[in-house]
Amino acid sequence: MSYRDEFRQSIHDPETFWKDKARLIDWHRPPEKILTRTDEYTYTWFEDGELNTCDLALDAHLRNGRGEQTALIYDSPVTGQQQKFSYTELHARVARFAGALQDRGVTKGDRVIIYMPMIPEAVMAMLACARLGAVHSVVFGGFAAHELAVRIDDATPKTILTASCGIEVQKVIPYKPLVDAAIDKAEHKPECCIVLQREQVAADLKDGRDFDWSELEANAESVDPVPVNATDPLYILYTSGTTGKPKGVVRDNGGHAVAMRYSMDLVYGARPGDVFWAASDVGWVVGHSYIVYGPLITGCTTILYEGKPVKTPDAGAFWRVVADHKVNILFTAPTAFRAVRKEDPEADALDRYDISSLKRILLAGERLDPPTYDWLRDKTGLPILDHWWQTETGWAICCNPVGIGMMQPKPGSATAPSPGYDVQILDVDGSPMRRGDQGQVAIRLPLPPGCLSGIWGDRSRFIKTYLEPLPGYYHSGDGGYIDDEGYVFIMGRTDDVINVAGHRLSTGEMEEVVASHPAVAECCVIGVHDELKGQLPIGLVLLKDGATIEHDELEDELVEMVREHIGAVACFRRAMIVDRLPKTRSGKILRRVLRSIADGEKYSVPSTIDDPTILDDIKDRFRH
């Protein structure tokens, strides 16, 4: 079936379409009710189906004779370790650790917080929870104690799983003191804490509450998967950068499993046996969907990488992993390759490695700027595919559907809506806009399987945030447009649209122009308050290593480029060279914080920032 036919059926006959896709996985009880609507906001997929997600990820492959295939490769340049686990070996570890959790009282429906670095036991912990029907909530390792505490109070876990430490490049971060402080701060007290001792740091265990991971696992018996309803929650994932009460995205078991299996084929062109590498962290949605569940449910070999794109040890780190493990499909964020491009503009490190196994590179998590797209395509000669999705959706809203026929990529575009997503561009009143006009990106309800089923413990917030702003639609919070050929362009969050003297302009479009300058490695354009025009754009620019251009000369050239491409109406007149851009640990630039600094407003330092000292440097630049 062609993309157009598949997309058309998914929108006009969703029940038939998703009933067919549901046959891709092994159900304990296949669903008869495919789509159920109970009110204007509530749609349910596969509500009478029964399954177990861990069973799909592990046991199903043993039944199908795939047990000796490598399921998981752990590659850690920060420790110098590599490990491989076959499906049989991973199944044995997970089934036994699930038994250990069961021995500590964890049962179906209980919540378990996982606060761990990128090590194999983090994956095992997620799968062991799924095996028992428990609901895991992975919190990014290294979060401050306060952020962990508010998640403990929101999820009310029975158990916390952690490790003695994490490693950031050459810095060892002890985790147990952070966990202890978080438990002290939290009103809810977990019954126990299970700690994996790493050789870099030995954690102190509190008698009666803390238990040694290895001892519990060694003394446990393996347990079978517990069947759960398709609508039962699999996990809670808190959106990054939340302040105050956290926003816990809830993912169900049934719709999620179907979406993972379908999207691995549609979006990535992945087949059983492929080596799939999502270079992310299990603390983010990419790690949930495409380090753990998607690849394992599909029968791929998945890579778990404890390192960075640069400095572990150099800008050839990603190419080395591809060459060592014969990676077929690589998925990461554009910021990773911008870091590589900055340190190695000519991709000299690529010449040291054989990456002939690699079929394609996919990028998501932020807008893929054309200069990064062009650099990757030119240096690798591979298809470079953008796709757009959110923590809330769990898989791609828009993609280049390689599994059913690759479309011609367009730089700056996430290509076309994935089957199941009825993407519309709406104006401020919720009315459809013409092709080519920028507006709010919305998805007509129902959302397809795999998307969030709610916010943990806060249905009213779920409705108010996502469903009430545009009745009949999911409000994405992103802005963009659809061109005459149906290609979707995501230009950034709607609050990244600035108003200059009554003209609504996209900072993403300006960033595209600025980033195309040969001396620019990365940039960010924000709108700052102006008494006369309302807002004016300012660029923050990171130079490529070795660039020698003077600040005034660069600023003049960038101003002229924006004027030429967008027009004088943009009023782009200032560009500051900075040493670093403030980002979350997942790679997103903190634009809202930058706007507050520029406007002299109060701001809070997000817990997700990778290095808070960057903000002080930038504050000084704005002050001067």
Q: For residue range 508-540, what is the model confidence (pLDDT) as tens digits?
A: 778 888 999 999 999 999 988 876 677 889 999
Taking only the tens place, the pLDDT of each residue in 380-400 is: 999 999 999 999 999 999 999
pLDDT value at residue 242: 36
pLDDT value at residue 243: 40
Query: How many other C-beta atoms can be found within 10 angstroms of the C-beta atom of residue 595?
Result: 21
Residue 2 has pLDDT above 70, yes or no: yes
Q: How confident is the model at residue 186 (pLDDT cuts 50, 70, 90)?
A: very high
pLDDT value at residue 143: 74
DSSP 3-state of 289: helix
Query: What is the four-CA torsion angle of 490, 492, 496, 498, rounded to 10 degrees?
Result: -20
pTM to 2 decimal places: 0.85
User: CA angle at residue 250 from 244 to 254, to 5 degrees?
Assistant: 175
Tell me what the pLDDT averaged over the chain comes to: 92
Q: How confident is the model at residue 308 (pLDDT cuts 50, 70, 90)?
A: very high
Bridge-based pairing state of the strands 275-278 and 301-305: parallel
pLDDT value at residue 40: 87
Residue 180 makes CB contacts below 8 A (sequence gap 6+) with 206
In the chain, the amino acid numbered 159 is T
Average pLDDT in the 541-564 region?
Answer: 90
Taking only the tens place, the pLDDT of each residue in 554-592 is: 999 999 998 877 767 788 989 999 988 888 776 778 887
Fold of the domain built from segment(s) 3-307+387-480: Rossmann fold (3.40.50)
Give, in words, the CATH class of 501-623: alpha beta
Taking only the tens place, the pLDDT of each residue in 425-466 is: 998 889 999 999 989 999 999 999 999 999 999 999 999 999
Closest CA to 258 of 12, 17, 5, 3: 17
**Segments making up each domain of the chain, as ranges:** 3-307+387-480, 501-623
CB of 91 closer than 8 Å to CB of 58: yes
Residue 541 has pLDDT above 50, yes or no: yes
Taking only the tens place, the pLDDT of each residue in 16-38 is: 999 999 999 999 999 999 999 99
8-state DSSP, 29? B
**Helix (H) or strand (E) segment spanning residue 320:** helix 317-325
Beta bridge partners of 37: 43
